[in-house]
Structure 1
């Protein structure tokens, strides 16, 4: 039987522990609140009368004790009211205060309402995806991104986040070319997810009805200062085989992570010098990546031949000068040899003896014998 007097639900009334006896409030009908964990990162506070019977919902007041407008079930018999919050909201140890979603349950089911403009609440159809709705509302209300690294969860070149951030989305997706140009592999794909939000609330992967929330060994979510996350996919896999985290001012947490078979991903120290944007053109980085991927049964990838080490500019200049000096010396030596081998025969005309008249036949003979054609060998020096 429904109580004729309406009941006011106070969302500010919260127990500080899960399950148990909860918390009771109300001067007329006693309302009991039970907190239960929801989807790993959220709390659900369920308000209902102590004996579980229906009651007339007069109104719902938010954490600031103001009436929440837009709920269509006011004045109707209901069974319970549920309010959802992010468990990691910073409140200095107090219960969270930013309600993400309100559900009103009647005999015919539950109707959900969400905040879209800071004060207006509207009915929202979950389409059997409570998790997605809570993640989006968490982004809108707490500026905390939940990143879905399932391949093709987002399109490339676009910005994504939530309906409330359509004008200033918090995720930008871009494709990264990683197949080495000299090897010709086409089995790898990589995407960079640039984050402009204050916090990275979680990283999730496709996992049937519920997405899997992964853990990074040695780190806890939510994370602050994450600038981008890169994910490497192989052989058409829906889930990445490697993840690269880029955190501002945190080299310890930044770097590559690999799946250990469960929900926890561990650091991949072998890839410490590998940068996603350099893999395509860097043999050393490519080979390090191939070595790691072969541990994941991706054995078809081929290593490339390492390029010869490059000398520092000052050594290159010194070597160039030495080579130029040697070349000049060799050219001069060759020129000398060529000039030495060159001989030029020059004919010297006979002496003019017309003004000499021999006195006797014997003198004439002597003169004729003494007028040979002289050949002089000349050498240019």
Structure 2
């Protein structure tokens, strides 16, 4: 049985609560002989700031670099609203992405049949929804320089953020999108704002050339990011794989997430380059939801996105696609039985706790791996 090294970074808010359920699922898979997981736990975000004065310590950063994969909960909360910008909780996640070179963020938006009525859209619009948003994660306006606030005098200031993309950054994220599409419905929608942004002009040129050169068998279309946002809420099932930059990917993936009824339902993967010899890659897996400080400690958070993130880890980092399928099947079965946490309650008569949802998923998974 292969052993994998997992670093758990629960973070803040509901992060520790949902991470606790993932640990139990990993333990179950080990007991079932699927794989063995050696886990270590570190601090990130506000919890790391409280302990070390920074959003992630050098020691925990070292553990992340050495791990086969990182599972990440959530960071931030009002407690740390006034800490210096460079050590704010979110800086820990940004450093992980940058130092681990996690350039490709995969965010699926899947509507489980049992939750079709939980969306704010009509059932016929979102039933059967299965979109993959591929977001470039280490370039663009979040990392471009200069990034600063300048005092202009006379009570005036100027905030500067710089959008920068090089050809290789666009091409490598494009390859991820086209390769994924070949395993799905063979369609890629590339999104930018070439009508007002030079980086968008280059993005469109590079994606078009890459498609013509290496992926002509895949259907490619281009949509402006604002128009795509409108189409996501008009008829989302027209999309298969969407590839876009860091800023637009951040916003569009949250729109897509809410089509499914709750941010608490959706996992994500952040991947680095595959090693030329081993094929291994740095990777971090996290739920799309935030730290939800308003419900932290109440035991009512939805652990499904965190457990789904483990499924993505099994699929993309460890090649355990069958085990990933079984986790996703266990989640679907629990939802089909009518079990609901507060965020996806809908018309359910009662709700269950974080721990109860985790237990129900493990019971279903136990049947599938037995």
TM-score, normalised with respect to structure 2 = 0.22
Q: Which has the higher contact order (CA 8 A, sep 6+)?
A: 2
Structure that is richer in strand per residue: 1
Bigger-Rg structure (1/2)? 1
Structure that is richer in helix per residue: 2
